[in-house]
Amino acid sequence: MSDARPVNLSTSGPPETILDDEPAAAREALAAALRGTEAAERRAAVAEVVSRWPRDLDAWARLGDHGRDVVESYAAYRVGYHRGLDRLRANGWRGSGYVRWEHEANRGFLRALAGLQRTAAAIGEEDEAERCATFLRQLDPAWPPADL
């Protein structure tokens, strides 16, 4: 039996997918890593979390946030985005429907997608940046959240 969450169907709009939570130990390790005082220390600690929990979407997004340059950030965000698509599909998402920020478990994927949008624009990949921006608004019509 799978512990994947069902897609919520509604007569008032598209289905909504909520990802499964990251393991508690991974969430705790990531929170500790982000408390590092120096940028290099935080980046190394976040990279350690990614190496221990390579399916943790928020860890990939946070690694992108702490990349040493825009290309490294772009790569981490892209990994988080693609792993996120895999997790969405495993949780019943079929290519359309909401994946809202209001659900804590969705935030790692959405952070990775938003980071991919920013870094794609920074390296001149305007078409990719626009696709990401459109996708974010499709996934969550209230995008961007105030607490991003």
- What pLDDT was estimated at residue 8? 52
Question: What is the pLDDT tens value at each position of the chain, 148 positions in all?
Answer: 445 554 454 556 789 999 999 999 999 999 999 998 899 999 999 999 999 999 999 999 999 999 999 999 999 999 999 999 999 999 999 999 999 999 999 999 999 999 999 999 999 999 999 999 999 999 999 999 988 8
Tokens of 133: 């921006």
Please state which of the four CATH numbers 3.40.50, 1.25.40, 1.10.10, 1.10.3470 is assigned to the domain occupying 22-139: 1.25.40
Q: What is the pTM of this model?
A: 0.90
Alpha-carbon distance of 143 to 79, in angstroms, equals 21
CA quadruple 90, 92, 94, 98: dihedral, nearest 10: -110
Find the Cα–Cα–Cα–Cα dihedral 31, 37, 43, 44, rounded to 10°: -90
